[in-house]
Amino acid sequence: MSIYKPCDIRGPVAELSTAAYHAWGAALARRFEPGTPFVIGGDVRTTTPAFLGALEAGLVEGGLRVLNTGVAPTPLVYFARDAFHAAGCAIVTASHNPSDINGLKWMFGNSPPTEEDVDALRRAAVHPPDDARPRGTTESVSPDAAYRDWLEESLADAPRPNGRSVVVDPGNGAWSGRASALLAALFPGITVAAIHDAPDGNFPNRNADCSRPKYLTALAQAVVERGADLGIAFDGDGDRVAFIDHEGTGLTAEEATFVLINSFSEALRGRAFVYDIKFSDRVPEAAARFGASPLPERSGHAFIRARIQATDALFGAEISGHYFYGALDSRDDGLYTACRMLCHMAKLDRPLADLRRQCPTIHMTPDLRVPVPLDRQARVIDAVRQAFADRPQGTVDGIRIDFPGGWALVRSSVTEPALTFRFEGEDTKTMNVIIREVATVLGRHEVALPNVM
Strand partners, 424: 364, 407
Which residue from 282, 253, 278 is spatially nearest to 362, judged by alpha carbons? 282
- Taking phi over 0 as left and psi of -120 to 50 as alpha, with beta for the rest, 242 belongs to beta
CA separation (Å) from 394 to 178, 299, 407?
42, 14, 10
What's the pLDDT band for 267 if we cut at 50, 70, 90? very high
What's the pLDDT band for 128 if we cut at 50, 70, 90? confident
Are the C-beta atoms of residues 75 and 107 closer than 8 Å to each other?
no
Global pTM reads 0.95
Q: What is the pLDDT of residue 453?
A: 60
The fourth-level CATH superfamily of domain 9-142 is Alpha-D-Glucose-1,6-Bisphosphate, subunit A, domain 3 (3.40.120.10)
Which residue from 332, 334, 339 is spatially nearest to 171, judged by alpha carbons? 334
**pLDDT single digits (tens) 231-250:** 999 999 999 999 999 999 99
Q: Considering the domain 363-443 in this protein, what is its CATH number?
A: 3.30.310.50
Is 444's pLDDT higher than 80?
A: yes
Percentage of residues of the chain with pLDDT beyond 70: 99
**pLDDT single digits (tens) 177-216:** 999 999 999 999 999 999 999 999 999 999 999 998 899 9
Q: Which residue has the higher pLDDT, 413 or 405?
A: 405
- The structural domains of the chain, with segments of one domain joined by +, span 9-142, 148-357, 363-443
- Name which of 131-135, 240-244, 264-268 the model is least confident about: 131-135
**pLDDT single digits (tens) 373-398:** 989 999 999 999 999 999 999 999 99
Domain 148-357 fold is Alpha-D-Glucose-1,6-Bisphosphate; Chain A, domain 3 (3.40.120)
Is 3's pLDDT higher than 70?
A: yes
HEC readout, the chain: CCCECCCCEEEEHHHCCHHHHHHHHHHHHCCCCCCCEEEEEECCCCCHHHHHHHHHHHHHHCCCEEEEEEECCHHHHHHHHHHCCCCEEEEECCCCCCCCEEEEEEEECCECCCHHHHHHHHHHHHCCCCCCCCCCEEEECCCHHHHHHHHHHHCCCCCCCCCCEEEEECCCCCCCCCHHHHHHHHCCCCEEEECCCCCCCCCCCCCCCCCCHHHCHHHHHHHHHHCCCEEEEECCCCCCEEEEECCCCECCHHHHHHHHHHHHHHHHCCCEEEEECCCCCHHHHHHHHCCCEEEEECCCHHHHHHHHHHHCCCEEEECCCEEEEHHHCCCECHHHHHHHHHHHHHHHCCCHHHHHHCCCCCEECCCEEEECCHHHHHHHHHHHHHHCCCCCEECCCCEEEEECCEEEEEEECCCCCEEEEEEEECCHHHHHHHHHHHHHHHHCCCCCCCCCC
Share the mean pLDDT of the chain.
95
Domains 9-142 and 148-357 share a fold: yes
**pLDDT single digits (tens) 314-370:** 999 999 999 999 999 999 999 999 999 999 999 999 999 999 999 999 999 998 999
- What are the backbone angles phi and psi of residue 91, rounded to the nearest 5°? -130, 125
Q: What is the pLDDT of residue 384?
A: 96
